[in-house]
Structure 1
Amino acid sequence: MVTMEESPRSPEAKVGLRVEDLWDVQEAQLSPDEKLNACFESIPVSAFPLPPSNQEVEIKSDTTLAEAVKLLAQHNILSAPVVDVDAPEDASWIDRYIGIVEFAGIVVWILHQSDPTSPRSPSSGSAISAAVNGITSAFEHETLGLESAMTTSGNFFEDLTSSQLYKDTKVHDISGSFRWAPFLALERSNSFLTMLLLLSKYKMKSVPVVDLGTGRIQNIITQSSVIHMLAECVGLQWFESWGTKKLSQVGLPMVTQNHIIKVYEDEPVLQAFKLMRKKRIGGLPVMKRAGGTRAIGNISLQDVQFLLTAPEIYHDYRSITAKDFLTAVRSYIEKHVGTFPMSGELITCNTDCTIKELIQLLDHEKIHRVYVADNDGNLKGLITLRDIISRLVHEPRGYFGDFFDGVLPMPPNSRV
C-alpha cells in the first residue's frame, strides 16, 4: 500500500490530511458515506490548491476565434472564462465575465458556418465566403450531416483556418451559438461538498471560484484536479475505507456495454464530434467494424484542437474517417513529443479493479474516462471522472435550496 509518507507532500495531499482530521472527530453513529459528506461540507473551496500559473488563462471578449483557439491549445486546456472588455473596472464578477468559452464550441460553430455541402455552398471556399458576407447564419444549419462529414478533407480545414471568418470573428460574436450557460460560480466560502456535487450530479466540467472582494475568478476547479487530489490521498484512513472497494461494490460502471456511445472505424470523424456534443459527453471509443465489441482507440473533445491547429496532417485524405483521424494524430504527436499529451489511446481496466487503482490510473494517464474490458479486449462498460466523484458524496435532501435561482437557462438556439 502506498502511504502518505511515500507520496509527495503536495497541496492536494494537505487537503486530504484536513479531511483525515475531520474524519477522526465525526460522530460515531454516522455511516462512512455520511462522515465523508460531513467532512467535505466543513472545508471551504478556498482550501483547494490554485492551478499552475500557465493554466491561469482568461480570454477577452474581443479576442478573435483564431487567437482563442491558439491560446487554449498553447495552454492545453479545453475552456477558459471570457472577460467582457466593456465592463467597468469596479464591475462585479457576474458583470465582468460573459461566460465560459469552450474549444469544442468554437469548432462546431465554425463548421456550422462553413458547411461545405450546403445547397448555398458548393465548395468549402464559397461556403466560407458566404458566411463571412452574412449569407449563412450559425442558426440556419442543423448539426453536420453524414454526407458533409464524409466529404470533409484536410484541404477544407486548411482553407477554413486561413479564412477571414476564422480570423475576424470575435469571441463575443458567438456568445449565443454554444453552451455559455449555466455559468455558475462558487464563492470562496462555499464548501467542497457543493463543488463536488456540481462536478458530478450537476454535470459541470469545471467550477469557477470567485473572490467577491476583487470581483474576479480566483480558481477554476476541474474534474481532473479533483481526481488528482484523491490520488494524493492514498494511504489515509478515510480514503482507504472507500478506495479499497471494487467497482461493483460502489455501482460502477454506470454505463454498461449496450449504452456506450461509439463510432465505427469507417465512419467520418466529424460524426464522432457531433455525437459528443449532442450527447454532452467527453469522448467515445472507435470500434472495429467486424464484431463491433472491440475498440481501436478513443477520440475525446480535446482532440478537436487538431482540426484547427494542425489541418495539414489531413492534407492527403480524401475523407477523414475516425480511423484516419487516430492514425494521423498519433503520427503527428510522435513528431512533436512533449508538445501534446498522447491522444487516441484506449485505456482499460477489468471488473476486479478497485476505486483506488482506478483513480491512480486516471491521474497517471491524465484522462477523463476508462473503459471496462474483458480479457479478450471486448468492451463491457465505461467509467468517467464524474462517475467516480458521484460515488464519493451524495446530495442531502434540500441541500441546494434556492442556489440555482437566477441561473440563465441554455440558450434556445444553442447548438452544442
Structure 2
Amino acid sequence: MAQEMVVRYSALSNCESYFERIQSTKKLPKPLQETLNHAFSRIPVSSFSGVPGGKVIEIPADTTIADAVKILSECKILSAPVTNPNAREDMSWRDRYLGIVDYSAIILWVLESAELAAAVLSAGSATAVGVGAGAVGAIGAMALGATGPVAVAGIAAAAVGAAVAGGVAVDKGIGKDAPTAADCLGDDFYKVLLQEEPFKSTTVELILKSYRWVPFLPVTQNNSMLCILLLLSKYRLRNVPVIESGKPGLKNYITQSAIVQGLERCRGRDWFDCIAARPISDLGLPFMSCHDVISIQSEELILEAFKKMRDNHIGGLPVVEGPRKRIVGNISIRDIRYLLLTPELFSNFRKLTVMDFIKIVVTLPEDVGRLAPPFTCRLESTLGSVINSLASKSVHRIYVVAGDEEVVGVITLRDVISCFIFEPPNYLINHFGFSAEEMLNESQL
C-alpha cells in the first residue's frame, strides 16, 4: 500500500514539475499572464465549438473488437468514449462511462495475439498445453479470463486455428522458434483472429482494463475554459469530455488539437499577437532538452518505435539518422493503425524497419491515410508560426532543429497550451474535488 501511494504521488508530482519548469522559463510579463488567466476563467465551456456533426460517437463496452474497429473506421475517428451497456439514463457519468478506447490499444492487442500464436506454432502443435503464461503477453490469457494451463491451451489452440486459416501449415512445422513462426503468419491472420473464439468474443471492456491510456474525467458546460486548458496541458489529458448536468450522453469532446486550432483563430487580437510574435525561446521552448528527446533510428524495427511510445507514454517520435540525429521522418502512435488497415504490413511486422514502414505507407491510397511528414522549426521561430503549423497541418508536435536538420527539441500541443496559462493555488481541487486527483493519478500509472 505504501509503495502504491508513492507511485501515485510521483505521478501527479511529475505534472507539477513539468508545469513549474514552464512557469519559471516563460518571459511573459506577469500582468499579461494574470489577465489571460482571468479571461479564460470567465469563458464557459459551453461557448467552445462542438464536434463535427454535432454528436459524440460512443462505443458500448460489450462491443466486440471487430465491431469497434468498424465503428472507428466508418466514422474516421481514432478514439471514442466507452459506455456501460447496463447504465440507466438516471445514472451519473461515473456509472455510465468506463473510459476511452482507441486504435492503438486495439492494434497492440492484435500484435500480442500474434505473438501468442507464434509461440504456440513454434512448438509445432495446436494442442501445446505447455505454453507459459509469459507467452500470452500483457493482455493474453489473463485479460481474457484464463487462469490455468487448460485455459491457456484453449487460447493457444484458437490462435493456432486462426493462423492455420490464415495460411500457415502447422502440422508440417514452420519454424523452430517464435520469431520464425511469427514471420510465417498469413496476410489474413489478423482478420481470421477476430473471427475465432475466444478472440471473437473479446470486448472493448477487456482491452480498456488492460490499456488505461487516459482517465474519463468530464467537465460540465458551466466549467471554465481555464479548467479545460489545465487538464489538456498540466495534467496531460489529450481530450476532455463535456457533459450536461442531469442529462445522459456527452455534449462535446474537446481535444488538444481543437484548442490549438482555436488559438490560431485568435490571430489578429492584441493579446494573441503580442505573445505569438515572440520567439519560442521567450516562452522557454522547447521545454525538453535535446538529450531528453526520445527518437528512433530509421533502420530500427517499427515495433521498437511503437514500444518506445507505449513505454514512455508519448504520442510520436522523430525518425533520425546518424549520431547527430538528423531528422528524416516522423512516426505517430496513430500510425500503428496501418498495421491493421494494411495486411501486407501486418504479415511482416517483425522484420519491418521504420524506414520500410514509412516507404510503404506513403504509397497507400488517400482514403486509407497518409503519414504526416516531419514538421520542423528553428530556435528563432516565433510562437505564432509554430501554432500555425500545428493548426494548419493538424499535427500534434513540431520538432526543433539546428544545423543540418539535427533534432534539438520537440514542441507538443501540450507545450503550446501551457504557454498561455498558469494554475492558481488549489484550482483543480476547488473545481473538481479530491476525486479528480485520484483519477489523474490512475491515468499516469
- The reply to whether TM is greater than 0.5 is yes
AA in 1 matched with 2:190: L
2:435 matches 1:406:
yes
Give the CA deviation at 1:355: 0.9
User: What is the distance in 1 between the residues matched to 2:178 and 2:239?
Assistant: 32
Find the partner of 2:190 among 160, 183, 187. 160
Between stretches 392-401 and 47-56, larger displacement belongs to 47-56
CA distance in 1, matches of 2:212, 2:51: 24
What amino acid is aligned across from residue 251 of structure 1 in structure 2?
G
DSSP-derived class of the 1:115 partner: helix
Give the match for residue 90 of structure 1: 90
Q: Is the 8 A contact 2:279 2:383 kept in 1?
A: yes
Within 2, Cα distance between the matches of 1:86 and 1:130?
A: 38
Structure 1, residues 317-336: CA drift from partner, whole Å, max 9, x if none? 7711111111111111xxx2
Q: For 1:90 and 1:404, how far apart are their aligned partners in 2? A: 22
Shift of 1:125: 11
**2:191 and 2:217 mapped to 1: Cα distance?**
32
Out of 243, 261, 264, which is 2:297 matched to? 264
Aligned to 1:70: 70
| Residue 280 (structure 2) aligns with | 247
30-39 or 217-226, which deviates more? 30-39
2:329 is matched with which residue: 289, 293, 297? Answer: 297
Do structure 1's residue 330 and structure 2's residue 362 form an aligned pair? yes
Distance 1:78 1:124 in 2: 37
* Separation (CA, whole Å) in 2 of partners of 1:95 and 1:365: 37
Question: What is residue 19 of structure 1 aligned with on the other side?
Answer: none
Which of 340, 345, 349 aligns to 1:308? It is 340
Question: Does the residue aligned with 1:40 lie in a helix, a strand or coil?
Answer: helix
3-state DSSP of counterpart to 1:80 = strand
1:182-201 CA-to-partner distances (Å, cap 9, x unmatched) read: 22110111110010000000
Encode CA deviations 1:299-351: one digit per residue, 9 max, x unaligned: 1011011111212245577711111111111111xxx22x2553141111111
- 1:304 & 1:214 partners in 2: Cα distance? 36
Cα distance per residue 1:68-88 (max 9 Å; x no partner): 123223333221101111112
Identity %: 35
Q: Which runs of 5+ in 2 are unaligned?
A: 1-28, 143-176
Alignment CA distance shift 1:125-1:353 (3 Å): farther
Instruction: Check conservation: 1:41, 1:194, Cα contact below 8 A.
Output: yes
2:375 aligned with 1:347: yes
**Relative to 1, partners in 2 of residues 1:151 and 1:281: Cα closer, same or farther, differing over 3 Å?**
farther
Asked if structure 2 preserves the Cα contact closer than 8 Å seen for 1:63 and 1:170, the reply is: yes
- 1:40 maps to a residue whose letter is F
For the 8 Å contact 2:89–2:248, the answer to whether it is kept is no
The offset of 1:107, in angstroms, is 1.8
What is the 5 A alignment of 1:26-65?
31-53=31-53, 56-65=56-65
Which stretch shifts more, 63-72 or 399-408?
399-408
Q: 1:280 to 1:237 in 2, by over 3 A?
A: same
Q: 1:393 to 1:253 in 2, by over 3 A?
A: same
> Is residue 377 of structure 1 aligned with residue 409 of structure 2?
no
Give the structure 1 partner of residue 22 of structure 2.
none
Higher Cα Rg, which structure: 2
How has the CA–CA distance of structure 1 residues 355 and 160 changed in structure 2, closer, same or farther, with 3 Å as cutoff?
Answer: same
Partners of 1:127 and 1:219 in 2: CA distance: 49
Aligned to 2:148: none
CA distance in structure 1 between the partners assigned to 2:125 and 2:369 by the alignment:
32
**Quick check: 1:320 aligned with 2:381?**
no
After TM superposition, the structure 1 = structure 2 runs for residues 161-310 of structure 1, keeping only pairs within 5 Å, are 161-163=191-193, 164=196, 166-179=199-212, 182-288=215-321, 290-310=322-342
Residue type of the alignment partner of 1:63: T
